[in-house]
């Protein structure tokens, strides 16, 4: 049996065509069913639905053999025990720094001010500002990052940006682009040895179906 960990929403939707290419058709719709283990048309493959930030943990400890996770989540989790064979080029976005439109970020940085930065992506933010030589106090949040500069909790946020509409709707502007993000296939290293042929078949089918 092969277990694949996915999160609901964008990653699930955008992984479906890759699964199809591997002959794996999921039999339940996660938006309609409350099931957390989904059968597929291949009796040897099942999908487990976990929180996006838990996908690397499931795969690292063998709760799943494979998983699909954003590069942002992977960097925050760390890559120990995980083989990363493919950039699936799905769920694309970027990690950026954003501030209130009336906040002069450039001069704050130039003057060496200490910045308060709210983010879910503490590891990415810490490394970025350290490399830039900017002193920051990082405030860990789990959601609604956009609210932090609007309420005075922070001067800046580090968050995922796709179209930029969420920032615009909250009167925020993107001032730095830290990195481009897409989803990656991750594989448990022990499973790769023990179930080599089955996992290789899935990796090869995914690889052949990745959009150029
Ligand atoms: P947008 O308004 O299109 O710039 O999207 C920004 C919002 O969607 C932010 O709240 C992000 O956290 C979230 N978001 C954008 N892209 C992704 C992605 N690939 N994966 C997860 N969340 C995302």
Residue 173 Cα to ligand 1 midpoint, Å, equals 15
- Neighbour-count burial for 167-182, b at 16+ CB within 10 Å, e otherwise: beebebbebbebeebb
pLDDT band at residue 212 using 50, 70 and 90 as cut-offs = confident
Strand partners of residue 68: 185
- Strands of the sheet containing 183-188, edge to edge, are 37-39, 45-49, 2-6, 66-70, 183-188, 82-87
Q: Is 72 in the pocket of ligand 1 (CB under 6 A)?
A: no
Q: Is the CB of 160 under 6 A from ligand 1?
A: yes
CA 72, chain centre distance (Å) = 4
Nearest to 49 by CA among 60, 71, 34, 62: 34
Ligand 1: centre distance to CA 6 (Å) = 17
Query: For residue range 161-186, what is the model confidence (pLDDT) as tens digits?
Result: 999 999 999 999 999 999 999 999 99
Burial of 153 (0-12, 13-18, 19+ CB in 10 A): middle
Q: Tell me if 165 CB under 6 Å of ligand 1.
A: yes
Q: Which two tokens stand for residue 116?
A: 């308060």
Q: Is 20 in the pocket of ligand 1 (CB under 6 A)?
A: no
pLDDT tens digits, one per residue of 115-147:
999 999 999 999 999 999 999 999 999 999 999
Asked if residue 155 has its Cβ within 6 Å of ligand 1, the reply is no
pLDDT at residue 211, as a whole number? 87
Please give the mean pLDDT across all residues of the chain.
Answer: 97
Q: Which protein residue's CA is at the shortest distance from atom 14 of ligand 1?
A: 160
Predicted confidence (pLDDT) per residue in 48-69, tens digit: 999 999 999 999 999 999 999 9
């Amino acid at each position: 049996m092969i277990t694949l960990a996915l999160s609901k929403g964008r990653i699930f939707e955008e992984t479906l065509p890759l699964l199809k290419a591997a002959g794996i058709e999921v039999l339940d719709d996660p938006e309609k069913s409350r099931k957390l283990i989904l059968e597929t048309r291949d009796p040897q493959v099942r999908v487990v639905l976990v929180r996006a930030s838990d996908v690397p943990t499931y795969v690292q400890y063998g709760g799943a053999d494979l998983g699909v996770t954003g590069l942002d989540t992977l960097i925050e989790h760390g890559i120990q025990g995980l083989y990363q064979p493919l950039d699936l080029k799905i769920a694309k976005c970027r990690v950026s720094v954003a501030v209130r439109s009336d906040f002069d970020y450039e001069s704050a940085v130039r003057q060496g001010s200490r910045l308060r930065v709210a983010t879910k992506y503490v590891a990415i933010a810490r490394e970025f500002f350290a490399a830039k030589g900017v002193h920051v106090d990082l405030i860990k949040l789990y959601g609604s990052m956009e609210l932090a500069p609007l309420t005075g909790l922070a001067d800046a946020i580090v968050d995922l940006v796709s179209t930029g509409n969420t920032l615009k709707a909250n009167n925020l502007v993107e001032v730095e682009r830290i990195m481009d993000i897409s989803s990656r296939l991750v594989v448990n290293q022990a499973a790769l040895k023990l179930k080599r042929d089955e996992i290789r078949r899935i990796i090869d089918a995914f690889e052949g179906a990745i959009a150029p």
